[in-house]
Structure 1
Amino acid sequence: MSPLNSADFTNGSIVHPDFFYISGFVGIPHTNYYYVFLCFVYALTVLVNTFVMFMIYTDHCLHSPKYIAVFNLAVSDFCGSTALIPQMIDTFLLKSHLISFEACLTSVFFIFSFISMQSFTLTVLSYDRYVAICFPLRYNEIVTNKSILAITTMLWIFAGIINIIPVIFISRLSFCKSTVINSYFCDIGAVHLLACNDNTPSSVMDWTHPIMILWCPVLFITGTYICIARALLKIAETSERLKAMKTCTSHLILVSVFYLPICFSFALGSIIHHNVRIINMSLTTILPPVLNPIIYSLKTEEFRESIKKLYRREKLRFTEKINSCFNHK
């Protein structure tokens, strides 16, 4: 039975397949070890991001603009990994390569929405550092909890809008030839390549979509750090300059981990081997969510102090319970 619906494309009808076949890591040796690695990374991602969200939510000392953005990043990382990694494990480890057309569109929307929010949140954090260093006396006036909440809310809405548009375009395409997606998930570009009718609007969206979710944030972050560098050069005291630079290191590491592999894949394009590109892109999507909370939260002094306070509080509570049990006896 053909995976394509029976609609007649020659009469102008739109032909949708019942299923797509996700090819994944074809021809790559020792992939079973990679799937074990995926399971480990996903478990760790859930653990560390849940811990970060719990700490920020429960500790009022962390209810600051920066940590509201960090909380939002943890939510994006948690949801993005949940939308992608279990599906990858089910597809390739359990050999469930078929995915329905509707499920593919749903996957496109959620995966790219959460990736967009990861990218957008990094721009919010760069804005926070820009104001803190370039306008230190006005930081508390400009960057408030209310303003960061408003910005992140608008970014969630924007992410939903720009990622529902490709889904609408894909739903208007016809697929009358191959249904094999040469990727490890329902990637927008890979799906567009399978269309057999005029997909010019989709092709335009295919190159404008990365601009909106990746290149514009990269340009914004680059611009903020140019301004930060200029502000740092004006600081006379070397110790003060180093102290200000130290507040940016965690964010710069996150930006490098998230954007550099993507830029590498886009820059080299067809030069690199297809399998190398797939492995690189898969690592790009699964590693930042587990590294972000470790780099940005667990390494910061405020967050470590919050963990110490929680430990002392729980230790005191446990000691009181033990003493209470002995006194009762």
Structure 2
Amino acid sequence: MTTYAVTAATGQLGRLVVEELLERGVEAGDVVAVVRSPAKAADLATRGVRVREGDYSRPETLPAALQGVDRLLLVSGSEVGRRVEQHANVVRAAEAAEVGRLVYTSILKASTTGNPLAPEHAATEEALRDSPVPTVVLRNGWYTENYSASLPQYLATGEVVGATGEGRVSAASRADFAAAAAGALLGEDALVGLDGGAHAVHELGGPSFTLAELAEAVSAATGQRVAHRDLSEEELAAHLRGAGLDEGTAAFVAALDASIARGELETDPGALEVLAGRPATPLATVLADAAATRG
């Protein structure tokens, strides 16, 4: 039997991938949930999932976590500035464990984008290219939840403010990206690279929208009129500072919007839908669910 491991399995994405594998018929005993705090995965353990401690920053924990694993999902770390070293620890452990496939969650257009989040992903991708482990890189776009979580702010201010111009965002829900990750672990076609080799890269995202279209969708989902206000990158940074963000964080967020304006977070939804085995969740659905949750 094939053994599948998911890192960060108690996180928002990792837990969904574990659930997706189980829903697709993988036996719980063939799934390994790699987590920093096993106690947080007690519910998975009671269902028969094998829970193992594994911390990206503590490489001594990783050999035991990956023992006997055939296919591994490496969910990218959340500690910006430390991720290259952390990911390298997992890659080395996967090599030592003779993992047969490593799937990594990267970012759209990692090798060419000016997105400030990309350099650590690009460095990890380079390490994977140099690794003997066959790899599948999932270059994920934005989560639709990045926007639905901001519903209270949109409604309180009556506007969606950004510096994206006519740039489009190919966002998809976490569940969509989790389904694609499960497909990359389970499917054989996912491993075929463009050059026929064993290093495949998939650019993933859902149907695209502009922030103006987002504002219209928010209005429709909530019944409250929300407008779109587009600023320059510099104006957005100043706006964010005025809202209480420090200078560095404001500049960082504005740079993310500038990346969208350059078209760096737009892609065709076809690749995600093939890996996921279903269409991406519409923006309207995610917003409607978020609005209903708010009551």
- Both proteins in one fold, TM over 0.5: no
TM-score tier (shorter): under 0.3
Larger Rg: 1
Q: Which has the higher contact order (CA 8 A, sep 6+)?
A: 1
**TM-score of the superposed pair, with normalisation by structure 1:** 0.26
The structure where helix makes up a greater share of residues is: 1
The structure where strand makes up a greater share of residues is: 2
